[in-house]
Structure 1
Amino acid sequence: MMTLFVFGVFFVLLALSVPICFAMGFATITPTLMDPNFMADLQFVVRSMIKGVDSTPILAIPLFMLSGAIMATGGLSKKLFDVFAVFIGKIPGGMPCAVVVTCLFYGAISGSGPATCAAVGTMCIPFLMNLGYEKLFSASLVATAAGLGVIIPPSIPYIAYAMVTDTSVGNLFIAGIIPGCLIAAALMIYTVAYCRIKGEDRARIEKNYRELRKKGVFHVLKDGFWALLTPVIILGGIYSGIVTPTEAACVSVFYSIFVCLFIYKSIRAKDLIGFFRSGVKSYGPLAAMMALAQGFVKLMVIIDAPIAISEFLSGTVGNKVVFLLILNIILFIMGMVIDVGPAVMILGPMLLPFAVSLGIDPVHLGIILTCNLAVGFVTPPFGMNLFVAAPIIHEDAMVIGKKALPLIGTYCIALLMITFIPALSMALV
């Protein structure tokens, strides 16, 4: 009964447009407000919050955010795009496909969906429009593909999920590679089909492609080498065991400073103070939310919420297939109103016991949660990527959301494969 009441308070506050951070905090202290003798009093909640974020792995989040911000300003998205465009830009749908691949690789730098949308969209959306592609198609493609930023490692939601479920961050990072590539491939297949049906301004595309080739393939590769090397260093270091995910995040910061400051010379030394300041401002609200999520999770354990949810699911869900189908539907809906990071921290500990009882690996569950909730970046009414892309084309975010529906459908086909074929996630782990 207490479980339903706490969740009821939480979702009612969300429905009233209360910020998720405050909604979570108030729901956490509600039992104490009702009963002063309740064991999870305010002091317990504060201790849980402090203990929950007193963790070395959590340091990877602000460090990856900082390195992503430096590389975004350093113009790495343009160099990545040129590399992919010079190889596939000439084929039908090649330029939009190059945008998808750029989002995939840039996601391995930023670890954030909105950051990927901002960095790639600011450069690629006007570029596609200049080549004759519809502005709504261009914006919806970037907004959807930018969701790969939280699926392809390093991913902030993976770190958040690992914190509350005691799952290996490194395993989650490695497990996210194939699902991220699968979703990117699905979006590219749709893009090629769309361009063949709708047609392209081939004369304009050929002209731009020739100008790009004039630079020389070697020159383009040389210019983009250091940007391409970023995910290799991060993931290669983790996968080989040379560094932990937290150490890899620290390496990514120093690498981003070195590349942008001394190689590309796209930032100045005095700009670093601004990056550090903005990094703290960006991470502050997220850190508060993660701390409150830790208190919320501890409360759920005390009121036996995981057991109550497991008993309810075991009595209503017959098998693994039905559970996964229902889970996908619930996550798709939740992704529309709750950001992926807090959502995985809340749902992960709640669903894990029952999922494990059905034979679902904790790493696979983390991939399912993240991939499902990442669709929320581009689904109305609160799709963050829609609001990032909208100002670029001076259009309403909901109009872009409608245009993105076929892309979302394509994404969901790949999502079902990821859900029901565990090997796609677990093959490299």
Structure 2
Amino acid sequence: MTGALLVTFVVGLIIGLPLVAVLILSCLVPGFVNPDFTANIQFIMRAIVGGGDNTGILAAPLFILSGMIMAKGGISEKIFNVFAYFLGRVKGGFPCAVVITCLFYGAISGSGTATCAAVGAMTIPILLEMGYDKTFSGALVATSAGLGVIIPPSIPFIMYGTATGVSIGNLFIAGIIPGCLIAGCLMAYSVFYCVKKGEDKAKIEAKVGKLKAVGLWPLLKDSIWALLTPVILLGGIYSGVVTTTEVACVSVVYALIVSIGIYKSVQVKDLYRLIKEGCRSMAPLALMLAVATAFGRVLTLLQIPATLSTFITSNFDSKYTVLIAMNIILLFIGMIMDTGPALMILAPMLMPMAKALGIDLTHLGIIMVVNMAVGFVTPPFGMTLFVASPICGASPMAIGKKALPFIGVFLTALLLITFIPAISLCLL
């Protein structure tokens, strides 16, 4: 039965079936092979319905909706201007401002591709105008956009928490320091690159001069509501005042107040379209969550996670070699599979191994999501490469080649996060 499931899964992916269809067929095959198997059609249908009947899932579409509302108001530009005001005259200051903007915007959107699209559309033309290489500009934004799934609120953290039962609030809190560490590494390389390649001081001075002419207070007044978003959301979770789903509701209300009442960048008539777009974005993901829950239960009945755990722990000498092997596998999967399905399928399989090795499940979630973030920008299939490509006017592969040093520092941060659990767990 196990062999039939694995063959169906692999063949379905190879011939290009939709992943949801592949998962459903894979769930059904063991029952066809052995009619006495517990996971019959009725069991699978109940598991799918049960997987969708989860209030934690509501957090994902609500965060998506609040991100859409805030994005319509040009929030990324307001955030970027503040950091460019302070960092513009520092060597590599504008690329560093881009990284920090991605960090903050990720705390609004919870999505890597959304962060790349929103921040890239605004910052890449500015970088090109100031003389930065187009492939460097595209690679900078494409890589930094990965912060959108690490810094909370993160849609992949919600996926992982739903699949494993780990507290989503704890995952959000645990992602703060790893996200800041990765941002620091990306900024360090950006400064190194700018020192090595040089910058057009005249163009940079002209841009900074325009920001200085506006003045710090007007810039802060214009951006403070956007900058407060992660503070309010994380403060609510960290203090225990609200649950993850409740804070997602708060994020939508806050986005409406800021965008309609303060920035006046969204009209009431726009809400129907934004809600429809949010539902359209979430619908496939919600179906995937429900079906992946059933798939995970079938895997458990077949004892595949336990078998995998036994195989790994008996064939590797130490916890550290297991972690290295796991990172290599996750990096490869992150290159070829979308983040949500990868987490929903792999997380239940890796849980027994993590427990056997004494790896905290929250820490495991951080490791998995950081690996998926690297996959966003890894050629040839990195999603953000294709998002950044038309904005900067370079091919995805050209951006991917330029992104290799960024990926290198990202991986350095990943190793630190993997082998120093306190980086993820010290705030819990």
Q: Aligned AA for 2:188?
A: I
- 2:285 aligns to what? 286
- 1:260 aligns to what? 259
Whole-Å Cα distance in 2 between the matches of residues 11 and 145 of structure 1?
32
Q: Aligned AA for 2:329?
A: I
Q: Aligned AA for 2:231?
A: V
Q: CA deviation at 1:17?
A: 3.0
- 1:304 aligns to what? 303
Q: Aligned AA for 1:165?
A: T
Whole-Å Cα distance in 2 between the matches of residues 353 and 213 of structure 1?
56
Q: CA deviation at 1:227?
A: 0.2
Give identity over the alignment, percent. 56
Whole-Å Cα distance in 2 between the matches of residues 259 and 388 of structure 1?
27
Whole-Å Cα distance in 1 between the matches of residues 258 and 140 of structure 2?
29
Which residues of 2 match residues 197-216 of structure 1 at below 5 A?
197-216=196-215
- 1:108 aligns to what? 107
Whole-Å Cα distance in 1 between the matches of residues 6 and 76 of structure 2?
41
CA deviation profile, 1:276-302 (whole Å, cap 9, x unmatched): 111111111111111110110010111
Q: Aligned AA for 2:219?
A: V
- 1:335 aligns to what? 334
Q: CA deviation at 1:341?
A: 1.5
TM-score, structure 1 as length reference: 0.98
Q: CA deviation at 1:412?
A: 0.3
- 2:132 aligns to what? 133
Q: Secondary structure at the match of 1:270?
A: helix
Whole-Å Cα distance in 2 between the matches of residues 43 and 131 of structure 1?
62
- 2:87 aligns to what? 88
- Is it true that 1:277 corresponds to 2:279 in the alignment? no
1:308–1:4 Cα change, 3 Å: farther
Q: CA deviation at 1:121?
A: 0.6
- 1:153 aligns to what? 152
- 1:376 aligns to what? 375
Q: Secondary structure at the match of 1:335?
A: helix
Whole-Å Cα distance in 2 between the matches of residues 169 and 41 of structure 1?
31
Q: Secondary structure at the match of 2:335?
A: coil
Q: Aligned AA for 2:216?
A: V
Whole-Å Cα distance in 2 between the matches of residues 259 and 392 of structure 1?
28
* Residues 4, 29 of structure 2: 8 Å contact kept: no
- Is it true that 1:76 corresponds to 2:85 in the alignment? no
1:305–1:64 Cα change, 3 Å: same
1:5–1:406 Cα change, 3 Å: farther
Show structure 1 runs of 4+ deviating over 6 A: none
Q: CA deviation at 1:335?
A: 0.3
Whole-Å Cα distance in 2 between the matches of residues 166 and 93 of structure 1?
42
CA deviation profile, 1:221-268 (whole Å, cap 9, x unmatched): 111100001001100001011111100000000111110111111111
Q: Aligned AA for 1:353?
A: P
RMSD: 1.1
Q: Aligned AA for 1:168?
A: S
CA deviation profile, 1:5-27 (whole Å, cap 9, x unmatched): 42343233223333322222222
Q: Secondary structure at the match of 2:336?
A: coil
- 2:58 aligns to what? 59
Paired residues, number? 428
Whole-Å Cα distance in 2 between the matches of residues 381 and 30 of structure 1?
33
Whole-Å Cα distance in 1 between the matches of residues 2 and 87 of structure 2?
53
CA deviation profile, 1:189-245 (whole Å, cap 9, x unmatched): 000000111111011001100110111111111111000010011000010111111
Q: Secondary structure at the match of 1:38?
A: coil
- 2:37 aligns to what? 38
1:381–1:21 Cα change, 3 Å: farther
Q: CA deviation at 1:306?
A: 1.5
Q: Aligned AA for 2:87?
A: I
- Is it true that 1:227 corresponds to 2:236 in the alignment? no
- Is it true that 1:194 corresponds to 2:193 in the alignment? yes
CA deviation profile, 1:105-145 (whole Å, cap 9, x unmatched): 10001110001001101101111101100111101110100
- 2:427 aligns to what? 428
Whole-Å Cα distance in 1 between the matches of residues 163 and 44 of structure 2?
15
CA deviation profile, 1:283-338 (whole Å, cap 9, x unmatched): 11111111110110010111111211111112212210000000010000000111
- 1:238 aligns to what? 237
- 1:248 aligns to what? 247
Whole-Å Cα distance in 2 between the matches of residues 337 and 34 of structure 1?
30
- 2:418 aligns to what? 419
Whole-Å Cα distance in 2 between the matches of residues 199 and 17 of structure 1?
46
TM-score, structure 2 as length reference: 0.98
